[in-house]
Chains A and B, each alone.
Chain A
């Protein structure tokens, strides 16, 4: 039986609940990204926060926080099969107990470790290269991450800018973190018109670019190394790489 969910983490956890208390699942997918297969028996699972909460609790209590975070990070990965990997992983984890964290190269564990590491490192990258601009009444940042990392960026930036109003906008997934003096939420979000920068904003962008040019040492110039750290695909939203 293939279970489909609505794309929310609670939806996924409900599928796990269903796997233990209903039919065994052979695979779990997000409804939107699933391509039907002739012989698959498919069931769309209605998200049930109560059931999700139960699964969450037993992961944290019977396994560990560490296992929970691997699961959550992997869930955010941009990979069609992520939920199937997670199903296998969770089933094995409940058999083995918390010691599953000691495994790394195991066939069931490795895909989860690989994906969660990928998500974690993309999050870390964006902690650095996310660029805000002051658009008058708030700070605004755009990003197009490979994985759905908005959720795990929030704690960092909400704490950092607790006296600011800001928006972090994932333009690919059309949603955003909106934070107002420490209170925040994630919501669907789309810009009606292009953002226009004021004089002060342009001045500081210019100042930053000037700094960026000055800090490099010419006789050590190494574009290849620079590209390793800031791949071209990320440069679109990073102001110092814009050429006017």
Chain B
């Protein structure tokens, strides 16, 4: 077992798995019942890779040998790459040995579809059984539900895993048809619906019996790729909102598309992943889940995509300036959460401290409020501390100063000096909606599927 072929397999299968962004080990509290491991509700990150992303689980594939040919995927059947597979035994050994050394919180097992969905799911279950039953492993396990697998197999996997996920990948039916013709929406949503039903049933049982069976206790998640198609942020965010509402997902992940394949329907291979756009989507996702925002407040028909210069909450504030400034000492919790620079923690602290004494301006920073942003939107004890009256353009200029200087040329003095506004483009322009690169098909702004 301890030989270099394992090293090589792990390298290949990890590189195939790394575009799946989910790595959370949170959402469930498990005590060690006489074996190895436990799980904490908050989750634990064990290290951070060179790209700055957290590593919590051993994220790998059982195999990268796939019968599907999804355009965006590195493992598509038409790619000429090395195909390898792990045995269940090998994965179990690596997980246990890594876990004993506190390298990881558990396993995130995914797989290409080797023969058919059922065979793949059976192999996943076999691996989980080895870990849970033989090794008595109580750490965190996240597995992919393979669309098209028999519901009975998905149920078995769900009883062994902490979290399951089905990746939607694309938010509209149309994009899915073009890039992943062998997948279809109904097939993707089926396991999701089944998992939700399973979780709901167990929750109901838990109300009745003390020792109800466990089923996917950490809930399910999904992932959407950003920037592989022309889908707007609005389509993506609306899809996410629907998934949260209809399938009670724990998380939707967004993955800035890294072009791994050339293809007529895809962005050119050297296109930089739209990292800032991905970041804005995550911020918006947080606003949906913790700040009681709705997708339709954040993006409108007129504004299909997020402003890359300002975060979504700030943008919302710009559009709703008439609601500000807000008095810190009287506003209710929901309103506090709407103030740029005030987070969930600081809003809670405000609510708590207000019960004892009024909040003074000097307190705000200690309460964790980011005054750089907040001071233009609040009044504290009836006083406003911003430097000027609220007015959108002026605010934008203060919040996001763009360098005022520019190399002037003798020969184009007639050129207008740009208005010093926004424009802090940290990254090369992402494959933008509305500006398809050469060869990229004109994917329409399709109907949101969910």
Q: Which residues does chain A contribute within 8 Å of B44, judged by CB atoms?
A: 124, 127-128
**B100 with A164: CB separation less than 8 A:** yes
Report if B208 contacts A (CB, 8 A). no
Q: How large is the interface on A (under 10, 10 to 19, 20 to 34, 35 or more residues)?
A: 35 or more
**A211 with B14: CB separation less than 8 A:** yes
Q: Which of B46-54, B81-89, B123-131, B153-161 contacts A (4 or more CB under 8 A)?
A: B46-54
Report if B417 contacts A (CB, 8 A). no
**B367 with A105: CB separation less than 8 A:** yes
> Chain B binding site: helix, strand, loop or mixed by DSSP?
loop
**A160 with B32: CB separation less than 8 A:** yes
Name B56's closest neighbour in chain A (CB-CB). Answer: A128
Q: Which of B186-194, B219-227, B352-360, B383-391 contacts A (4 or more CB under 8 A)?
A: B352-360
Contact partner of B47 among A132, A203, A212, A214, CB < 8 A?
A: A212
Contact partner of A161 among B46, B56, B100, CB < 8 A?
A: B100
A69 CB → nearest B CB, Å? 16
**Binary interface encoding of chain B residues 1-37 relative to chain A, with 1 for a CB under 8 A from any of its CBs, else 0:** 0100011001100110011000000000001101111
Name B366's closest neighbour in chain A (CB-CB). Answer: A105
Report if A71 contacts B (CB, 8 A). no
Report if A15 contacts B (CB, 8 A). no
Report if B282 contacts A (CB, 8 A). no
Q: Which residues does chain A contribute within 8 Å of B54, judged by CB atoms?
A: 229
**Binary interface encoding of chain A residues 91-112 relative to chain B, with 1 for a CB under 8 A from any of its CBs, else 0:** 0000000010111110000100
**A102 with B356: CB separation less than 8 A:** yes
Name A199's closest neighbour in chain B (CB-CB). Answer: B2
Q: Which residues does chain B contribute within 8 Å of A220, judged by CB atoms?
A: 51-53, 256, 258, 273, 275
Report if B313 contacts A (CB, 8 A). no
Report if A34 contacts B (CB, 8 A). no
Contact partner of B258 among A127, A162, A217, A229, CB < 8 A?
A: A217
**B2 with A203: CB separation less than 8 A:** yes
Report if B310 contacts A (CB, 8 A). no
Q: Which residues does chain B contribute within 8 Å of A134, judged by CB atoms?
A: 100-101
**B32 with A229: CB separation less than 8 A:** no
Q: Which residues does chain A contribute within 8 Å of B275, judged by CB atoms?
A: 220
Contact partner of B101 among A139, A162, A215, A222, CB < 8 A?
A: A139
A207 and B14 in contact (CB under 8 A), knowing A110-B366, A129-B47, A221-B51? no
How many angstroms between the C-alpha atoms of A101 and B49 in the bound complex? 38
B225 CB → nearest A CB, Å? 13
Report if B349 contacts A (CB, 8 A). yes
Report if B102 contacts A (CB, 8 A). yes
Q: Which residues does chain B contribute within 8 Å of A238, judged by CB atoms?
A: 47
How many angstroms between the C-alpha atoms of A206 and B50 in the bound complex? 17
Contact partner of A226 among B10, B40, B52, CB < 8 A?
A: B52
Report if A172 contacts B (CB, 8 A). no
**B363 with A105: CB separation less than 8 A:** yes
**B52 with A103: CB separation less than 8 A:** no
Report if A131 contacts B (CB, 8 A). yes
A222 and B51 in contact (CB under 8 A), knowing A131-B103, A203-B2? yes
**B18 with A210: CB separation less than 8 A:** no
**A210 with B101: CB separation less than 8 A:** no
A219 and B272 in contact (CB under 8 A), knowing A103-B356, A161-B100, A226-B52? yes
A230 and B47 in contact (CB under 8 A), knowing A212-B55, A216-B18? yes
B65 CB → nearest A CB, Å? 18
Report if B77 contacts A (CB, 8 A). no
Report if B317 contacts A (CB, 8 A). no
A139 and B48 in contact (CB under 8 A), knowing A207-B6, A217-B18, A219-B258? no
**A132 with B102: CB separation less than 8 A:** yes
**A210 with B352: CB separation less than 8 A:** no
Q: Which residues does chain A contribute within 8 Å of B94, judged by CB atoms?
A: 207
A214 CB → nearest B CB, Å? 4
**A210 with B7: CB separation less than 8 A:** yes
**B349 with A160: CB separation less than 8 A:** no
**A223 with B50: CB separation less than 8 A:** yes
**B36 with A161: CB separation less than 8 A:** yes
Q: Which residues does chain B contribute within 8 Å of A240, judged by CB atoms?
A: 47, 103
Q: Which residues does chain A contribute within 8 Å of B14, judged by CB atoms?
A: 211, 214-215
How many angstroms between the C-alpha atoms of A242 and B358 in the bound complex? 52
**B2 with A131: CB separation less than 8 A:** no
A229 and B18 in contact (CB under 8 A), knowing A103-B353, A129-B47? no
The 3 closest A-B pairs by CB, nearest first: A225-B52, A105-B366, A216-B49
**Which A residues lie at the B interface, using CB under 8 A?**
99, 101-105, 110, 124, 127-134, 139, 141, 156, 159-164, 199-200, 203-204, 206-208, 210-226, 228-230, 238, 240
